Amino acid sequence: MFLQINQLAKHYQKGQTLITALDDVSLNVDQGEFIALTGPSGSGKTTLLNIIGGLDVQDSGSVLIGGQPQIRGNDRESSAWRAQNVGFVFQFSNLLPFLTAAQNVELPLLLTSLSTKERASRVSAALELVGLAERAGHKPAELSGGQEQRVAIARAFVSAPKLMLCDEPTGDLDRKSAQSILELLNTLKSEFNKTIIMVTHDMEAAAATDRQVVLDKGKLRLAGQPLPDGTFKAAGVR
């Protein structure tokens, strides 16, 4: 089992109120699985994604990636751990506007010991993979929304993480661009054996994955095989 999430709980204190963001969440994910994480607004999806990726800390419970606990924090060691293990893709591409596509993709590699030449070769391979080799020298403002998201995926992929965590990656895109992003994520899964967890409100996007997991008020409710009409067949949470 590649990703093991055991009995996670997370609360936030907001004034006098204690908010339960995650309540006893357990989930196992195989290497090479593409999972959709769905559920109403405020159900804990982003909290779960951030805890898996080491950006947030749970109150209790554990997360093992490849059998190892995460290294958390904001220091160099935890940033390097994240670059090697987890690739993040967000709803908005968060590319740095003053850097070219290639320079944006290179960013996570600056934390590694790779040489300039090795970095350049990884960056071109990643841009090639997302179909944007010819746009390497373009700045984000010169790219379409879908292209920007492809660059963001190349940036998440370039450091060769086994796990890709995507928070509404198609949320800001038109249907056609969204479709091509979903195809790209499926390529990362099938050709590179990446494990992908994608938060989405879009049932069509969820149906493009292997399995849906639903959060409701911080509890994992159901997991099942998505059907083409966007509904899913209930199944036990593994």
Ligand X SMILES: Nc1ncnc2c1ncn2[C@@H]1O[C@H](COP(=O)(O)OP(=O)(O)OP(=O)(O)O)[C@@H](O)[C@H]1O
95-124: contacts with ligand X (CB under 6 A): none
Q: Judged by CB under 6 A, does residue 42 bind ligand X? A: yes
**Of 74 and 115, which CB lies nearer to ligand X in the complex structure?**
74
Taking CB under 6 A as the criterion, the residue among 31, 46, 79, 84 binding ligand X is: 46
**Of 32 and 230, which CB lies nearer to ligand X in the complex structure?**
230
Q: Judged by CB under 6 A, does residue 53 bind ligand X? A: no
Backbone phi and psi for residue 140, each to the nearest 5 degrees, phi listed first: -50, -40
Query: Could you tell me the smallest distance in angstroms from the CB atom of residue 205 to ligand X?
Result: 14
Interaction mask 154-173, ligand X, x per CB under 6 A = --------------------
User: Which window, 34-42, 125-133, 154-162, 181-189, contacts ligand X (CB under 6 A)?
Assistant: 34-42
Taking CB under 6 A as the criterion, the residue among 27, 34, 45, 90 binding ligand X is: 45
Q: Judged by CB under 6 A, does residue 220 bind ligand X? A: no
Judge whether 53 and 71 are in contact, CB under 8 Å: no
**Of 55 and 185, which CB lies nearer to ligand X in the complex structure?**
55
170-209: contacts with ligand X (CB under 6 A): none
Residues, the chain, total? 238
Taking CB under 6 A as the criterion, the residue among 3, 27, 44, 154 binding ligand X is: 44
Note the residues at the interface with ligand X (CB under 6 A).
Answer: 12, 14, 19, 21, 39, 41-47
